Amino acid sequence: MVYLEQGAAREQRAFARTNLVCPEPGCSAPEITTVHRAPGGRRDGYRHLSRPEFASHGPESVLHRQGKALVARWARAQPNVANVEIEAPLDGRRRIADVLLTSDAGNKMAIEVQYSGLTTASWKERTAAYKALGITVVWIWGNIGAFAPRRTRVLDVHREILRRRMPIIWINPAHERIAWAGLEDDYPRLLPANVRRHGFWFGSLDDLELRATGLFPPGFIDARIASKTTAMRSRRPRLSRAFERKVDQIASGRARWSASPDEDRG
């Protein structure tokens, strides 16, 4: 996959026509070129030289493929990541991970880039299935379609993520950007004021912290520990031992990606 910088369509046109093809498997007209849209304020992009026979190139399908490629490219550049595989078969091929990461120490993480519709029940089942395999699963949601960010309401599946005190992360492959939301009330003060827009925060995959327990926006784990610590300290002294155990449990979210699986999950 080749990323086209905004404003570079004309410069890259000859290269695209000579060296690039449509990434959709089985495309009947794979030859592509670039489209110069920047003067009108739109995103430069690619298009087919002739229309394919089958309408299998919908925006969500294309963005899903681009999203997996972007996540894989980012993962390969991370320290202590030994292997990255796109569409990795698991559990006797009963499950296919969009992107599977394996650390030097043997930790495995599946990253699902979700554009197509998914019920909350199916999400819980798939999440539990990964856990049963000893694999951490991270869900990154599509920037368009069923799971696009909404200012006015929170989807049921995202409510479940919030209940589990995890961040909601979206991806926009065309701009190589991510957004996240659903963080603790005291989280905004940990970030530069210009990062937040309309209730969401924006950045790149490089801004995320890769831990054995998931992918976390900058400062998220600190905010989660601080919030839980404050809440538990307000309870009666007789809970002090339980409090200390809970703080240790929350802090385990910091577990190093490079640590051994037993150390991470213990």
pLDDT tens column, 79-113: 999 999 999 999 888 899 999 999 999 999 999 99
Res 14: pLDDT: 93
For the segment 31-42, what is each residue's pLDDT rounded down to a tens digit?
A: 989 999 888 888
Residue 7 reports pLDDT greater than 80: yes
For the segment 148-171, what is each residue's pLDDT rounded down to a tens digit?
A: 887 566 788 988 888 888 889 999
- Would you tell me how many other CB atoms lie within 10 Å of the CB of residue 140? 26
Res 196: pLDDT: 44
CA separation for the pair 65, 212 (Å, rounded): 25
β-pairing, 209-211 vs 214-216, is: antiparallel
264: its two tokens: 């991470």
CA separation for the pair 27, 49 (Å, rounded): 12
For residue 79, which amino acid is it? Answer: P
How far CA 41 is from CA of 51, 105, 116, 195, in Å, comes to 25, 46, 28, 22
Burial of 243 (0-12, 13-18, 19+ CB in 10 A): middle
For the segment 221-255, what is each residue's pLDDT rounded down to a tens digit?
A: 877 777 666 655 565 555 566 666 666 666 665 56
CA separation for the pair 105, 250 (Å, rounded): 22
**Residue predicted with more confidence, 258 or 213:** 213
Q: What angle do CA 220, 123, 119 make, to 5 degrees?
A: 120
